[in-house]
Amino acid sequence: MSLQVNVKDLLSNLYHNRGVVELLFGQRDQVTVNELLGREDITEEQYRKLISLDILTEYENVVSLNDSVVAMFEDFMEIGEVTPGFINDYIYELKRHINFYQEAREMRFLRSIKKYLKRINATLTREIIKLQKNVDDTYKNESNYRIKLQKLEDYREKRDTIIDFIKKTSDIVEETRNLFNITNDTELFGIVSVLKASLIENLDFLIEIQTDITDFINKIQFQLDVYKKAQRLKEVKDHGTLHFKTNFREIVGNINTLKHNGHKTPKTKIPVDFLYTDDGHVLCKRIAEKYKITRLMVRGLADKMAGNFKDKGLEQQIKLDTEKLVERFLVQSKLNLFEYLMEYKFPKAIGTVTFEERLSLFVEIAMEYQTVMDFKYRLQYHDYEDADKNKKRLGYTLILPIKEKEKKEKTK
Amino acid sequence: MEDYNFNLPKQTHDIFSVMARGNFISSNGSKDGMNRLYDIINNPENFDRLQAYFNVIRYNIERGNNFFYFSKLNEPNSEIEKKLERFERYIDIIDLFASMDNKITIGSRFRPGEIAEECNANVRLKQKLQKIPLYRSETLHNKVREICDLMSRDSFLEMEDEKTESYKVLDSYTYLLDVINSVAIYEDSGMNSDDAQGLIYN
């Protein structure tokens, strides 16, 4: 019993139960009555009402949406089965109205002609998009071979039908060109030229789909053939004649993949230097733990570098210079060692050398180079200010370079 | 730095480390960005550069239908006995896959449980499965698992989901099909097969 009388009622009913409609559209032919009534957004009463309005139908305990509703949604979303039949209806209608118009040049017929021309264009495009989607979907998702092949063959037929319709449509447009010229209707010209362009475009698209379908079918056929062959080979193998009745040996002999030829991944040795690094140590430790080798576990990671690392480096650099420094000191005669060191202009690279550092350098040189220096065993005094600006006085031994004469004596 | 001199893609090392292990790179593999590696090799500019680069160290990139693998240049193929054994086993496996109701082929997804179930229900399949020579597998399910494991190691399958144990057949499977397709079976015109065999080989 159908009570649908107007658009408003239909829309409000659909809107009111939009959750249910969405579910039923999404899971077509899968939802049972109990499942549906288990949902919170529909009551038994509402369900009865929808059944009575013919929006829902129930068959063998499975609920489904009215086909017209489903078709409407599918049309908008350009999904669902390919139904080229519609185009044929539109072409028929178009022809009818063209005849009417030839009889009586009335605007109402012209309007219908425009309407059907537009419809044909839209439907053709939509059907072709659906066809493309379905072909792809079938190839990828249909798991049963025979059905997959059958479906693809069906799509091939549908494609031929659509091509037929395109030809029919362009014939009609050609035949009625004179008639359309007489109308002098710019809108009609627009529609016709758009239609012509899209007919050509769609034809190209269909050719592409055709290659896809053929390609898919060939691939499936290839796989099927190979599978048949595999089964035959297995049979031959079970009879123990695989090596004698086929060229299996030869084919396998020519196989050049790395894996099947026993080529191993190139392995490189760990460089010894790497083992001395921290990363290398971690590696050693892991191996040591695995094989319980204590020897490899002895050496620990290097400690964190001290904060005054840079200063230490500086000292070292001064030390390296001492020999040259002493040489230079020895060739002059104006200053004693202490004064010489205090006055000495160290190279810029070393940076500023503090009083304390010069002092320790003095002690160091005095101790290491006693033989080449003249110790006067006399104290001299040096006045200076320390960091807190206190006046201080420092006593030091007078040390001079050995004079040539004295040197000789000393060596004697 | 040398990479830049050759203008090689930065994935060159990844490509090498997969293929030098003897594995295939398939266009529909998803683990470890395999499909990306495929796209990179498949780019004609990259392909020429990579080919030239690897040729220097005598690896040759071989192109199949949607997959790539390495072969060694100027090196005789070896280990014929081992190879024969392996491909005989592949025949067993492919024969099993081919005999299923839902034939397993490129792009198929399946769980070992499904195959075991079907084999359990079908005596012919059960026999086939039981006769495939594998070790340490007692139950049908474990045996199918072992087959899947073996095929995954050879990079023909890929485990998509560890929880559900679902596998996907990669494009490299075409390689096996190609091999099988190229084997010629000598027809023996209905004669006694032993005689025919003598005619061809002795």
C-alpha–C-alpha distance, residues B114 and B102, integer Å? 10
**B34-38, B95-99, B187-191: least confident range:** B187-191
Residue A49 above 80 pLDDT?
yes
Nearest to A136 by CA among A66, A37, A192, A212: A212
Q: Between chains, do A258 and B71 touch, taking CB under 8 Å as contact?
A: yes
Residue A296 above 60 pLDDT?
no
**In the structure encoding, which two tokens stand for residue B164, read together?**
């559900």
Measured between beta carbons, the chain B residues lying within 8 angstroms of A239 are 193
pLDDT bin (cut points 50, 70, 90) of residue A164 is: very high
Residue B160 above 60 pLDDT?
yes
CA atoms within 13 A on the CB side of A385: 4
First to last CA, chain A: 141
Residue B201 above 50 pLDDT?
no
Q: Between chains, do A246 and B108 touch, taking CB under 8 Å as contact?
A: no
Q: Between chains, do A260 and B91 touch, taking CB under 8 Å as contact?
A: no
Q: Between chains, do A249 and B105 touch, taking CB under 8 Å as contact?
A: no
More confident residue, A125 or B80: A125
pLDDT bin (cut points 50, 70, 90) of residue B194 is: very low
Residue A135 above 50 pLDDT?
yes
Please give the pLDDT value at position A306. Answer: 64
Report whether B15 contacts B25 (CB < 8 A): yes
Report whether A36 contacts A20 (CB < 8 A): yes
Q: Between chains, do B107 and A227 touch, taking CB under 8 Å as contact?
A: no
Measured between beta carbons, the chain B residues lying within 8 angstroms of A248 are 84, 87, 183
Please give the pLDDT value at position A338. Answer: 84
| Dihedral angle computed from the Cα positions of residues B38, B43, B44 and B49, in that order, rounded to the nearest 10 degrees | -80
pLDDT bin (cut points 50, 70, 90) of residue B128 is: confident
By C-alpha distance, the chain A residue nearest B107 is A140
H/E segment holding residue B67: strand B67-72
Please give the pLDDT value at position A324. Answer: 78
Task: Provide the b/e sequence for B52-61 (b: ≥16 CB within 10 Å).
Answer: ebbeeeebeb
Residue A367 above 50 pLDDT?
yes
What are the residues whose beta carbons fall under 8 Å from the beta carbon of B167, sequence distance 6 or more? B109, B110, B111, B112, B148, B152, B157, B158, B159, B160
What are the residues whose beta carbons fall under 8 Å from the beta carbon of B173, sequence distance 6 or more? B105, B106, B156, B157
Residue A138 above 50 pLDDT?
yes
Interface of B with A in 167-196 (CB under 8 A): 175, 177, 179-186, 188, 193, 196
C-alpha–C-alpha distance, residues A85 and A77, integer Å? 19
Please give the pLDDT value at position A9. Answer: 83
**In the structure encoding, which two tokens stand for residue A63, read together?**
């609920």
Three-class DSSP category at A85: helix
By C-alpha distance, the chain B residue nearest A238 is B92
Measured between beta carbons, the chain A residues lying within 8 angstroms of B103 are 145, 223, 227
Residue A246 above 80 pLDDT?
yes
C-alpha–C-alpha distance, residues A188 and A181, integer Å? 9
What are the residues whose beta carbons fall under 8 Å from the beta carbon of A246, sequence distance 6 or more? A233, A236, B183, B184, B185, B186
Q: Between chains, do A258 and B88 touch, taking CB under 8 Å as contact?
A: no
Please give the pLDDT value at position A200. Answer: 92
Q: CB of B79 within 8 Å of any CB in chain A?
A: yes
Burial of B25 (0-12, 13-18, 19+ CB in 10 A): buried
Please give the pLDDT value at position A238. Answer: 86
* CA A261 distance to own-chain centroid: 34
Please give the pLDDT value at position B202. Answer: 29
Residue A260 above 70 pLDDT?
yes
Percent of chain A at pLDDT > 70 equals 87
Q: CB of B85 within 8 Å of any CB in chain A?
A: no
Backbone angle region of B186, left / alpha / beta, with phi > 0 → left and psi within -120 to 50 → alpha: beta
Q: For residue A326, what is the DSSP state?
A: H
C-alpha–C-alpha distance, residues B124 and A46, integer Å? 53
Measured between beta carbons, the chain A residues lying within 8 angstroms of B200 are 244-245
Q: Between chains, do B78 and A261 touch, taking CB under 8 Å as contact?
A: yes
Phi and psi for A235 in degrees, rounded to 5? -60, -50
Q: Between chains, do B62 and A258 touch, taking CB under 8 Å as contact?
A: no
Q: Count CB neighbours of A354 within 10 A.
A: 10
Please give the pLDDT value at position B1. Answer: 44
Please give the pLDDT value at position A412. Answer: 46
Please give the pLDDT value at position A37. Answer: 83
Interface of B with A in 149-168 (CB under 8 A): 154
Burial of B72 (0-12, 13-18, 19+ CB in 10 A): middle
pLDDT digits (tens, 9 = 90+) for A87-122: 899 999 999 999 998 888 888 888 889 999 998 998
Q: Between chains, do B94 and A227 touch, taking CB under 8 Å as contact?
A: yes
**Sign (positive/negative) of CA torsion B69, B73, B79, B81?**
positive
> Which range in A111-120, A248-257, A264-273, A339-348 is most confidently predicted, on average pLDDT?
A111-120
Look at the pTM and tell me if it is higher than 0.95: no
Q: What does pLDDT average to over chain A?
A: 81
Percent of chain B at pLDDT > 90 equals 13
Please give the pLDDT value at position B68. Answer: 92
Q: Count CB neighbours of A359 within 10 A.
A: 17
Which residues of A have a CB under 8 Å from any CB of B?
140, 143-145, 222-223, 225-234, 236-237, 239, 241-249, 251-263, 265-266
pLDDT bin (cut points 50, 70, 90) of residue A166 is: very high
First to last CA, chain B: 59
Q: What does pLDDT average to over chain B?
A: 82
**In the structure encoding, which two tokens stand for residue B177, read together?**
């099909």
C-alpha–C-alpha distance, residues B123 and B129, integer Å? 10
Say if strands B157-161 and B166-169 run parallel, antiparallel, or are unpaired. Answer: antiparallel
Report whether A338 contacts A362 (CB < 8 A): yes
Phi and psi for A396 in degrees, rounded to 5? -145, 155
Report whether A113 contacts A97 (CB < 8 A): yes
**In the structure encoding, which two tokens stand for residue A278, read together?**
């921290």
Closest residue to B98, CB basis, from A227, A239, A266: A227
**Which residues on adjacent β-strands are paired with residue B71?**
B60
Closest chain A C-alpha to B5 CA, distance in angstroms:
23
Measured between beta carbons, the chain B residues lying within 8 angstroms of A225 are 181
pLDDT bin (cut points 50, 70, 90) of residue B156 is: very high
Closest chain A C-alpha to B11 CA, distance in angstroms:
18
C-alpha–C-alpha distance, residues B73 and A345, integer Å? 68
pLDDT digits (tens, 9 = 90+) for A51-93: 888 888 888 888 888 888 888 888 787 777 888 888 899 999 9
- Listed in sequence order, the DSSP H helices in chain B are 2-6, 12-19, 34-42, 44-56, 80-99, 112-121, 123-131, 140-153, 173-182, 193-201
Best residue of B183, B192, B197 to probe chain A, by most A CBs closer than 10 Å: B183
Closest chain B C-alpha to A3 CA, distance in angstroms:
46
Residue B102 above 50 pLDDT?
yes
Please give the pLDDT value at position B133. Answer: 79
Closest residue to B84, CB basis, from A245, A249, A256: A249
More confident residue, A232 or B103: A232
Q: For residue A348, what is the DSSP state?
A: G
